[in-house]
Chains A and B, each alone.
Chain A
Amino acid sequence: GAVVSQHPSRVICKSGTSVKIECRSLDFQATTMFWYRQFPKQSLMLMATSNEGSKATYEQGVEKDKFLINHASLTLSTLTVTSAHPEDSSFYICSATRGHLQETQYFGPGTRLLVL
């Protein structure tokens, strides 16, 4: 299989705090991980692509200082939403591939973030 986990599954935080979301590939090494954001009843919006050991590549319009991504190992990537505000409330989903081009992306279960 290709299992990807995310933690936490849901988080509620106060405005101004930072939230860290972990994404782990449980049974394979993920050279590349992706972070998406999904608003209700909308498609997935790619935020950034991260490769192990290098800086993430952010999509246009995504603030890299706001959404810090670290891909420290072949099985773990983290997304930190810094100084979260209510407009950051969303469903964040990570995915992972084994690294080759056009590889199937396997998705984590997502994290629902609510910023009060």
Chain B
Amino acid sequence: AQKVTQAQTEISVVEKEDVTLDCVYETRDTTYYLFWYKQPPSGELVFLIRRNSFDEQNEISGRYSWNFQKSTSSFNFTITASQVVDSAVYFCALSSNTGNQFYFGTGTSLTVIP
């Protein structure tokens, strides 16, 4: 069974603080992809990152970084020096080798307080 768990429902941080959004996944497939999307209040989902199961290198893109650890089935997302514009709902998703369906987590609502 494929499953994505985002245990943090809501997080609030003060601007400039760092924040980590957790994502834990379950899959029996050896080949799979993990994604993070941002959904601001406007509603549109913005693609942030895609990571395949064979690439455990961490990735950094500006203030965003991702920590992929197969040993713990986690794909956590860290925002450093958070800004008000980072306020959004963030979804982690899994796509397995058995099909091109996405399995979304329930999302984490991040509020950055000025």
Interface size on A, residues (CB 8 A): 25
Give, as a whole number of angstroms, the nearest-CB distance from B98 to chain A. 9
Give chain A interface residues in 59-116, CB to chain B under 8 Å. Answer: 91, 93, 95, 97, 100-110, 112
Give the distance in Å from the alpha carbon of A3 to the alpha carbon of B44 in the complex: 11
Interface size on B, residues (CB 8 A): 26
Contact across chains for B105 and A107 when beta carbons are under 8 A apart: no
**Segment with Cβ contacts to B, from A11-19, A20-28, A41-49:** A41-49
Give, as a whole number of angstroms, the nearest-CB distance from B48 to chain A. 10
Contact across chains for B37 and A107 when beta carbons are under 8 A apart: yes
Contact across chains for B32 and A110 when beta carbons are under 8 A apart: no
19 contacts between A and B (CB under 8 A): A32-B100, A43-B91, A43-B104, A43-B106, A44-B91, A44-B104, A46-B102, A49-B100, A49-B101, A93-B43, A101-B99, A102-B33, A102-B97, A102-B100, A107-B44, A107-B46, A108-B44, A109-B43, A112-B43
